[in-house]
Amino acid sequence: MQQIDERNLETIPVGPLGIIPLASCRQLGEKVNNYLVTWRKERNHKHKANVAFEGYQRDSYIIDAKVPRFGSGEAKGVINDSVRGDDLYLLVDVCNYSLTYSLCGLTNHMSPDDHFQDLKRIIAAVGGKARRITVIMPYLYESRQHKRNGRESLDCALALKELVRMGVDNIITFDAHDPRVQNAIPLSGFDTVQPVYQFIKGLFKAESGLYIDKTNMMVISPDEGGMSRAIYMANVLGLDMGMFYKRRDYAKIVNGRNPIVAHEFLGSNVEGKNMVIIDDMISSGDSVLEVAMELKKRKAAKIFICATFGLFTNGLDKFDKAYQEGLFDYVLTTNLVYQTPELLQKPYYINCDLSKYIAYLIDTLNHDASISSLLTPIDRINRFLAKNNKPKAE
């Protein structure tokens, strides 16, 4: 409970707390709810008898909400509990393809578009009755379509503007592909969170007795787009960093993209050092596995692949093969997006749980307190390293 006590939670809450995890985020939402219920029952709040704190301690903060569908595939948002005056937090995982619905007798898997529409349906069902609405969307919808190359749609910017027009006050996302997309809604709350602290804990979970030091570890960015992410982690850990950039053949187009000719490396000697490859997502996995192969050619030691979102759009076969060939040692991703049971059972996979962190954010925001220490958890990281990062005895 030490981390909770560090925050100023003596202020009056914005409103009674309500959490609406959509079906795509149900499991994560229930974990978050369990933390909040436990903390608020244990917290001996000196103002809890005040009328402003009515409903502060409850057995559950989850609001009963559903999105039933008609046989034609159309749907509606339904909220079965009162939300008048509530401080609402809506959780949605737009990447959860495991959910299905019936469309004229056919089984359809839900796409990111379906999940985004369901989110809007629930916001519409709230009908402006809530005190405040915060959307927690770990994987930012359409975040890969964040800039215009030619005559293209700007889907992410359009989605953000639409949410704000519907009455959303704050949007919280994790490791946005390009945080500058928040310029589309400059007068509204937008926070993008880096899960570096959870990755550091995951590294020690994966490798007992791990020692992080400049002489035996480096942080690697698999492309120029992820430089800031790798620089942040390297600076926090006091490590050197390296970067690969993709040399492409711009004279050809294969599957809508210019094919990669080679991965060129910029950085110091990696021989004998452990490598942390950090990226925002693993989609097909080709990029990180090619980078791991290049590092192994340069005689790197152990390789840890860290990605906030493990989408694995082409399955896990290529990761199984690469693991058997010794190209990498561990893959670390978060539970912010849907994880298949198959993935969770892999010997090389480490799950970084963000439910407690999201609960901290919700608990703090409900009191209208600052979340700066949660967005940049340098003190927590330093305390964790002081406790766990010790060199092996000679």
Identify the pLDDT of residue 263.
74
CB of 276 closer than 8 Å to CB of 212: no
Q: What's the confidence (pLDDT) of residue 377?
A: 86
Displacement of CA 85 from its chain's centroid (Å) = 28
Q: Is the pLDDT of residue 51 over 80?
A: no
Confidence at residue 2, expressed as pLDDT on a 0 to 100 scale: 42
How far, in Å, CA of 124 to CA of 130, rounded?
A: 11
When comparing pLDDT for 266 and 111, which is higher?
111
Is the model more confident about 196 or about 46? 196
- Give the confidence band of 300 by pLDDT, cuts at 50, 70, 90: very high
Residue 7 has a pLDDT of: 61
- pLDDT tens-digit profile of 196-251? 999 999 999 988 888 898 999 999 998 887 888 899 999 999 999 999 887 777 88
pLDDT category, 49, cuts 50, 70, 90?
Answer: low
pLDDT tens, 80-102? Answer: 999 999 999 999 999 999 999 88
CA 271/CA 269 separation, integer angstroms = 6
79: Cβ contacts below 8 Å, ≥ 6 apart: 20, 63, 64, 65, 122, 125, 126
* Averaged pLDDT, 33-54: 78
- 304-362 pLDDT per residue, tens: 999 999 999 998 999 999 999 999 999 999 999 999 999 999 999 999 999 999 999 99
Mean model confidence pLDDT for the chain = 89
Label the pairing between strands 170-174 and 132-136.
Answer: parallel
Q: What percent of the chain has pLDDT over 90?
A: 60
Q: Provide the pLDDT confidence category of residue 8 given band limits of 50, 70 and 90.
A: low
Q: Are 78 and 67 in contact (CB under 8 A)?
A: yes
Residues 6+ positions from 316 with CB-CB distance below 8 Å: 342, 343, 346
- pLDDT over 90 (residue 12): no
The reply to whether the predicted model has a pTM over 0.85 is: yes
User: How confident is the model at residue 257, as a pLDDT?
Assistant: 72
